[in-house]
Amino acid sequence: MNVFAGRIDFIRQAQVAARLGAVLPRAAVLHRSEDTRPYECDGLSAYRQLPMVVALPADEAQVQAVLRICHELQVPVVARGAGTGLSGGALPMGDGVLLSLAKMKKILAVDPVARIARVQPGVRNAAISEAAAPYGLYYAPDPSSQIACTIGGNVAENSGGVHCVKYGLTVHNVMRVRGLTAAGDLVEFGSEAPDAPGYDLLALAIGSEGMLAVTTEVSVRLIPKPETACCIMASFDDVEKAGNAVADVIGAGIIPAGLEMMDRPATHAVEQFVHAGYDLEAAALLLCESDGTPEEVREEVARMSEVLRASGATGIRVSQNETERLKFWAGRKAAFPAVGRISPDYYCMDGTIPRRRLGEILHFIAAMEIKYGLRCPNVFHAGDGNLHPLILFDANKPDELARTEAFAGEVLEKCVEVGGTITGEHGVGIEKINQMCTQFAPAELALFRGVKTAFDPEGLLNPGKNIPTLHRCAEYGRMHLKGGTAAAQQPHAGLPRF
């Protein structure tokens, strides 16, 4: 575990708490350690740090007041939604204010005609679709933690989901973000029109990990709920064949609503846990979903089945009803809790690769399992090449942690080497900050820092995350592969993931 030794300056703490107490209700400013403890980490619990002060504003005016005071006192601010993020993006600072936006959870408007929902940042992802459901509409991005994670967090991380192969990521579904800069200036990125004048600052703000502005309001696009959906479960006797089948489906001109893959160790772990009826003989399973009108789905399922058979599927099952479809998915969505049952700890990776390199990466991971003597079941968002290999380890055996870190480092660097990225959807945060030095050259990192400075010249919003300093990269060069850490004892352990 990485407990940050950021010591809290109690005089400073009293000063900041007093100033914030003048603009927020008494109960909305926390500084005693028993009150701030719940905020010491996000979903990446291996990193913990008590914040100096926690502020819980209830509206935009209060957020602005907090930011203005922090700007005046030059106190760093870390914004946080539900804290389900997996890369430590909401890790607090011992000399900073943790700005929780959880109280701002109003759905301000649902316009069923324009198909737009306007919401506060603390609204849960799933709550938007629930509010839109009476109109036959929904918000498409569905990160597996959608019952808990907030739209503000989704904007910060550009969250995906199992259906983003067809419906896109947060950046494709958010129309407008209203927020405040570190100085407390009100800014609006994007609009409820198809575009906005000037540079596309909306694209820049989405996925910026809370480093450019604090989100206070979001307009999202709602789309009509597909009339029906159907899922194919295809078995393969070889993981590489399954990987090639993914390319074949897409190469045949089909964009499935979801295209997921699990290898045998993953299906075995899941089956014991949820009894989804998975084929335990198969070396790999593909879940391939079609949605749309009943006619469309019938046509697409027939075409997909044909391609999968030609690609060497040894078995194909098509969900016969909604209950069976959800059962197929229940296994996939429970992969992480299931793996949590068979191993004391696990470390999840998030690399993305070009789909055609899937087979190669799978063989590489298999070789790493032997090299490091650790098991690594694999679940993938195969349709978009986003890998979530899970290295199983026991943190109580110290050498296993070190081996896990080295294993993960090699896999992420391999992802970069084949033309991919160190993070497809979980973000850099604090967790992968060293690997940023592998993926980007010094001039690129310098430009990122310039972007940060354009929005936040004093570097007060979430400093130290996402973009490493050159100094840090130099250190990492020496420490190579020792900078990572592993996730032990996930909070929200029962929450569906990825």
Within 128-157, the residues that bind other proteins by CB under 8 A are 135-137, 157
Q: Which of 90, 93, 422, 461 binds other proteins (CB under 8 A)?
A: 422
Give 380's strand partners: 261, 387
One-letter amino acid at 316 equals I
Nearer to other proteins, 37 or 303 (CB): 303
- String of contacts with other proteins for each residue 189-208, x by CB under 8 A: --xxxxxxxxxxx-xx-xxx
Q: Which of 168, 277, 463, 491 binds other proteins (CB under 8 A)?
A: 168
Question: Which residues, 6 or more positions from 193, have their beta carbon under 8 angstroms from its beta carbon?
Answer: none
Q: Which of 9, 227, 417, 458 binds other proteins (CB under 8 A)?
A: 227
CB of 9 closer than 8 Å to CB of 49? no
Binding to other proteins in span 425-464, by CB under 8 A: 425-428, 432, 436, 439-441, 443-445, 447-448, 450-455
CB of 150: closest distance to other proteins in angstroms?
17
Nearer to other proteins, 206 or 230 (CB): 206
CB of 456 closer than 8 Å to CB of 182? yes
CA separation (Å) from 336 to 55, 153, 319, 492?
Answer: 32, 21, 23, 11
Degrees, nearest 5: CA angle 276-282-369? 105
187 binds other proteins (CB under 8 A): yes
469 binds other proteins (CB under 8 A): no
Q: At 339, is the secondary structure helix, strand, or coil?
A: helix
Q: Which of 42, 142, 279, 300 binds other proteins (CB under 8 A)?
A: 300
CB of 337: closest distance to other proteins in angstroms?
23
CB of 327: closest distance to other proteins in angstroms?
24
229-247 exposure pattern, b = at least 16 Cβ within 10 A, e = fewer? bbbbbbbbeebbbbbbbbb
Binding to other proteins in span 235-294, by CB under 8 A: 247-248, 250-251, 253-255, 292-293
- Under DSSP, the state recorded for 21 is H
The CA radius of gyration of the chain, in Å to the nearest whole number, is: 23
68 binds other proteins (CB under 8 A): no
Degrees, nearest 5: CA angle 177-450-98? 55
Nearer to other proteins, 442 or 494 (CB): 442
Q: Which stretch binds other proteins (CB under 8 A): 162-170, 256-264, 306-314, 341-349?
A: 162-170
Q: How many CB atoms lie within 10 A of CB 374?
A: 20
